[in-house]
Structure 1
């Protein structure tokens, strides 16, 4: 059985085919590091794993675009708080962490730890139905124009 924490911050380095998730506790100690395939079952399993480790889980991502859409939708639909940590911030903060190379695991750790230390990042939420419908229509129109 793993130790239960009061709060855990989970940083996710999002990608097209997989994500890397790292959880840190209130002291900044890594409590888990895991590669997650970009699929519903694996993402839901990650949510369960993180929620079993702590009373409160705060999620942080570095991308809020196409590659993280499923991840964000599942997190928000399951009542999880998610913040966006800009890539520029992650890049700048990476220099303060040990290791020369850029890896998914290191980026996820930087995202989690940065979210733990700073409380000023934008919280993400699902758009209301009208905005979602307009986004869908706009994307469809852009596809039609590209095809033409």
Structure 2
């Protein structure tokens, strides 16, 4: 295993709360936060990429029983234009995704294991349903979506 990481992030996923702890090589905590599910009620998980890099949070959210939605790229870009600032950061994007879901829920596409939306996104993302025809080994994340 590669030992040249700048941060190791441990995630403890639980039924009532989750906790993340990030450590730099010297052992300093650079991230240490809990998010309790019970304090906030039902959670809608919104991703901007339900396949590829977003497949893992979709699989985890699905396993936890959360409802999952997808904010299409064009809707995301249009929504981002409504907010001040031009910097593209993960924190800004996450806020825009959540706020767009809050204020413009009609822009979301709900993702269900059997949904046509997810099937079409798999095709667009190039996910091949037949591992024998795939261009390489099937990742564990891709397997979660099948």
Scaled by the length of structure 1, the TM-score of the pair is 0.56
The structure 2 residue matched to 1:113, chosen from 88, 99, 119, is 99
Alpha-carbon displacement from aligned partner over 1:96-124 (angstroms, at most 9, x marks no partner): 11222111111111110111122332211
The answer to whether the aligner puts 1:69 opposite 2:55 as a matched pair is yes
Return the structure number with greater relative CO, CA threshold 8 A, min gap 6. 1
The structure 1 residue matched to 2:43, chosen from 57, 60, 68, is 57
Structure of larger gyration radius: 2
- Structure 2 residue ranges without an equivalent (≥5): 1-8, 20-33, 120-126, 137-146
Aligned residue number for residue 109 of structure 2: 122
More strand by share: 1
Tell whether the 8 Å contact from 2:44 to 2:68 is kept in structure 1 after alignment.
yes
**Residues 1-148 of structure 1 aligned to structure 2 (within 5 Å):** 41=11, 45=18, 49=35, 51-120=37-106, 121-127=108-114, 138-143=130-135
RMSD: 3.0
- Structure 1 residue ranges without an equivalent (≥5): 1-36
More helix by share: 1
**Could you say what secondary structure the match of 1:141 adopts?**
coil
Large movers: runs of 4+ above 4 Å:
none
Aligned residue pair count: 101
Tell whether the 8 Å contact from 1:90 to 1:111 is kept in structure 2 after alignment.
yes
Aligned residue number for residue 139 of structure 2: none
